[in-house]
Structure 1
């Protein structure tokens, strides 16, 4: 079994409900066991800033799939939730975005897949939830909690769990 870290995001529709339905679907399709799930975080948009805020979270899973098969599975789950990568703008609004952040200590750099995720250490919206579930995990020789200390997390707010009072 391999350990994979996956970032979830979205800003169209009921994103928290999408996460609640998508995570079991990811695990089922990836023959995976959910190891950890962060809280959901309201985050400012990144890249294209003239759009609604995002909700982001991270999960850690154990899977038998190889990295390319896992990425294909994540794309299938995105499509189930209405995402059409061919019709969207980069960093634009989306119903569900699933990014494979890390897979064991594997390093891959192909047109289809780069691991660890090439912009991981620039993104507070990924590092904040990731530090919640795997603060001591080393990725490319960097500890998640140390990487978080070097990026802005301004405007990132932890959300109550769905159904919990604010």
Structure 2
């Protein structure tokens, strides 16, 4: 039995629906990982620099035995497969695909590369709605998160 993880998908460039579908398929194909459920896809206004188009967003419930940073590496590789170039994009800029680790079991993770629960969870009402659609009480999950061993 693996950890239950919540991953946020977002896209506002190109074929947004295809980018989300690619992410779902690639995540489900990862070793020792399976997508258990997905929230409805939601269109939201962009966060960040002006001039961006709207995003399509979706939250996934995933079961995995991958360590958190290995999962992050896989998420970033999937983003790259969808054409995202992290080095060339401004923070919160337009992107073909964004895959964020929002919750990783009941763990609180603080590394130079990964903060879980995601520090923007309390500020993103669309993530909160998407988690609620998956029967997750996000505020309780944040409170209950404990330091990873």
Q: TM-score, normalized by length of structure 2? A: 0.89
Asked if the contact 2:27–2:34 (Cα under 8 Å) also holds between the matched residues in 1, the reply is: no
Unaligned 5+ runs, structure 2: 145-149
> How much is the aligned-residue C-alpha RMSD, in angstroms?
1.4
Alignment of 1:67-86 (within 5 A): 67-86=68-87
Runs (4+) off by over 6 Å: none
What's the CA shift for 1:17? Answer: 1.5
Unaligned 5+ runs, structure 1: 143-166
| Counterparts of 1:77 and 1:110, CA distance in 2 | 21
| Counterparts of 2:102 and 2:130, CA distance in 1 | 12
Paired residue total: 142
Match of 2:23 in 1: 22
Asked if the contact 1:38–1:58 (Cα under 8 Å) also holds between the matched residues in 2, the reply is: yes
Which shifted more, 98-107 or 27-36? 27-36
Secondary structure of the 1:16 match is helix
Mapped pair 1:141 → 2:143: yes
Match of 2:57 in 1: 56
| Counterparts of 1:71 and 1:65, CA distance in 2 | 9
| Counterparts of 2:30 and 2:40, CA distance in 1 | 22
